[in-house]
Amino acid sequence: MKEKWFLTFPPELTEEPVTYTLIKNYDLRINILRASIGLNVTGNLLILIDGTPNAISEALTWLKTTGINVDSGDSQIIWNDELCVHCGACTAVCPAKALSLDPKTWLLSFSPEKCLACGHCIPACPLGAITNQKRRENV
Amino acid sequence: MSNKKSYEEINKKIKEGKAVIVSADEVLDIIAEKGITEAAKYVDVVTTATFGPMCSTGAFLNFGHADPPIRMTSVTLNDVPAYAGLAAVDAYIGATETSISKGIHYGGAHVICDLIDRKEVRLQASSPGTDCYPRKSIDTCITLDDINEAYLYNPRNAYQNYSAAINTSDLPLHTYMGILKSNMGNVHYCTSGQLSPLINDPYYRTIGIGTKIFLAGAQGFVSWMGTQFCSGRSRRENGLPDAPGGTLAVSGDLRSMSTEFIQPAVFEDYGISMFVGIGIPIPILDAEMMSNVSITDRDIFTNIEDYSVKRRDKPSLGTVSYEELRSGFVEIQGKKIPTAPITSLHKSRQIAELLKQQIKNGDFEITKPVAQFPLTNTLNTLEIKRKGDA
């Protein structure tokens, strides 16, 4: 069973060997897609994991108890261009640059293929034009 | 041909269909080609615009009298309190006021838009009852067409320059400048830069009390200097204040507005604000006015303020130009930081273009201000003291 997870960990957990624990204790195959980690700053990790449903569920529980936020990639971001006023308030909070402003027209565009579904853009939109749709039930 | 043009001459040219009207973006190419002096002779009007969140927004409403009549002392519109400490059936609904039941997800800004969209709005009011106004409560539905006057009156809009925002703390901040990520994760900025009205008329020569403007789709007016009007700031050589300077109080009829140009803005964990679209034509009276509108994003500088310092005066992490802000990132302390606007440049341009068409079609006359703004205003601060303290 494969999952895509977007992990956000607080500054005090940057020394925690998260990937090691996930491999060693839960026998997960991990492919790191994107990482943004620095000592004592909020970090992000986008990983593809492969393991048994049981192991995935237990790993998820462990991550949550350590204080690491997990957005499992089972949701997709929906951008409603009819509500959008193209202000750009969502663009700098998007870690994947899936939401961006065209430097000529200053129109906003959304590239679903770049989107990590981290959801940071949802509260950033003052128009409520960005929502989250579950692809299926959570793990 | 004289190097000066009067308002009357410009309006005459507009009527004859001979006026040259361009936006504050487009005029830059003309200046590059002809130079300031020749461009001043050639261009008659330059349109400026902005479409950004402006909290200081609200509407005066007169509901008409019920039978028997009521002197409303507390009023809600769709469960959002409106200020009714005025005459019997007058009220003011502020954009940032929040719904009693829904919190920040519905508020004054939403009520204003529902009225503009001709939706039914529930009006509830109460009163102690008087000999002349015997009714003690009312619960009814209104639409914009049912009531008497309904006009936007915004005490402070269209800031002349505004500081950009950053957050140096470990936690994200939820502000009226949007979500500021921790550890200098992003920089947010507002104003439409080289298209912004007061940036193109830094000394308020043509924008003053009585100036006709585009306001949320309607023809409105500048009614007064905006609150926190701080024209006495230090200025650069091009006249632009180094920090937030002039502001405008504006008014206009809700009935002629369109929600295409005015929208509620909900800032998570902050509250409600309102995107307001404002367009202002600047008559090119002489070469000095052309020089004013020649300002480009390269020449507009603003401070980056640290919003994690929860004090009135926030430290500045440096000064950047709008050109840098618009490039998508700025460099602060050796770090490349992504930037994002919260004012829609796309919408601002749309308004500047629409205003241009309206003037060309003879639907929008250029007006001379009936009074100019003062140039030396400074800001007072609010100090904590007891009555009678010196």
pLDDT value for A96: 86
Distance from C-alpha of B232 to C-alpha of B199, rounded to nearest angstrom:
15
Give yes or no for A11 touching B (CB within 8 A): yes
CA distances from A130 to A85, A110, A120, B107, B268 (A): 12, 10, 10, 20, 13
* Angle, CA of A15, A19 and A23, to the nearest 5°: 140
Contact B187 A106 (CB under 8 A): no
Q: Residue B186: left (phi > 0), alpha (psi -120 to 50), or beta?
A: beta
Taken in order B23, B28, B29, B34, the sign of the CA dihedral is positive
Sole residue written with tokens 């065209």: A102
Torsion angles phi and psi, residue B193, rounded to 5: 65, -125
Rounded Cα distance, A9 and B177, in Å: 25
What pLDDT does residue A139 have? 39
Closest chain B residue by Cα to residue A86:
B344
Share of chain A above pLDDT 90, in %: 47
The model's pTM: 0.89
Q: Do A106 and B338 count as a contact with CB atoms less than 8 A apart?
A: no
Between chains, do A87 and B273 touch, taking CB under 8 Å as contact? no
Residue in A42, A85, A88 nearest the CB of B275: A85
Minimal C-alpha gap between B336 and chain A (Å): 12
Q: Between the CA of residue B220 and those of A102, B24, B160, B226, B375, what are the distances in Å? A: 31, 20, 19, 15, 24
- The CA-based angle A131-A133-A135, given to 5 degrees, is 160
Closest CA to B184 of B343, B363, B315, B349: B315
A139/B278 Cα distance (integer angstroms): 48
Average pLDDT, chain A: 87
User: Average of pLDDT values for A16-34?
Assistant: 90
Could you report the per-residue pLDDT of A93-122, keeping only the tens digit for each? 998 899 999 999 999 999 988 888 888 999
Q: Do B328 and A103 touch (CB under 8 A)?
A: yes
Q: Which residues of chain B have pLDDT under 70?
A: 1-2
**Closest Cα partner for B205 from B319, B89, B279, B291?**
B291
Contact yes or no for B163/B180 (Cβ under 8 A): no
Closest CB to B346 among A11, A107, A127: A107
Residue B239 · residue B292 · CB < 8 Å: yes
Query: What would the two tokens of residue A30 be?
Result: 């991990």
* A91/B273 CB distance under 8 A: no
pLDDT at A135: 58
Query: By the CB < 8 Å criterion, does B270 face chain A?
Result: no
| pLDDT at A70 (0 to 100) | 87
One of B132, B141, B190, B230 is an active-site residue; which one?
B132
- Please choose, from the candidates A92, A54, A46, the residue with its C-alpha nearest in 3D space to the C-alpha of residue A70: A46
B132 is catalytic: yes
Chain A residues in contact with B265 by the CB 8 A cut-off are 126-127
State percent of chain A over pLDDT 70: 95
Give me the residue from B266, B326, B344 closest to A85, CB to CB: B344
What is the three-state SS of chain B?
CCCCCCHHHHHHHHHCCCCCEEECCCHHHHHHHHCHHHHHHHCCEEEEEEEEECCCCEEEEECCCCCCCCCCCEEEECCEEEECCCCCCEEEEECCCEECCCEEEEEHHHHHHHHHCCCCEEEEEECCCCCCCCCCEEEEEECCCCCCCEEEEEEEECCCCCCEEECCCCCCEEECCEEECCCCCCEEECCCHHHCHHHHCCCCCCCCECCEEEECCEEEEEEEECCCCCCCCCECCCCCECCCCCCEEEEEEHHHCCCCCEEEEEECCCEEEEEEEEEEEEECCCHHHHHHHCCCHHHCEEEEEECCCCCCCCCEEEEEEHHHHHCCEEEECCEEEEEEECCCHHHHHHHHHHHHHHHHCCCCCCCCCCECCCCCCCCCCCCCCCCCCC
> Dihedrals φ, ψ of B62, to 5°?
-120, 120
Residue type for B273, please? Answer: S
Closest CA to A90 of A50, A62, A120: A120
- Of residues B263, B265, B342, nearest to A88 (C-beta): B342
A89 to chain B: closest CA residue = B342
The better pLDDT of the pair B109, A31 is held by: B109
Mean pLDDT of all residues in A30-39: 82
C-alpha A9/C-alpha B124 separation (Å) is 48
What is chain B's mean pLDDT, rounded?
97
Whether residue A37 lies within 8 A of chain B, CB to CB, comes out as no
How much is the pLDDT for A137?
47
Distance CA B257, CA B216 (A): 5
**How confident is the model over A58-85, as pLDDT tens digits?**
998 999 888 888 877 667 899 999 999 9
Question: How far is it, in rounded angstroms, from Cα B80 to Cα B94?
Answer: 9
Sign of CA dihedral B250, B265, B51, B148: negative
Based on the number of CB atoms within 10 Å of its own CB, is A5 exposed (0-12), middle (13-18) or buried (19 or more)? buried
Residue A112 sits at the chain B interface (C-beta within 8 Å): no
Alpha carbons B246 and B281: distance in angstroms, whole number: 17
CA distance B186 to chain A (A): 6
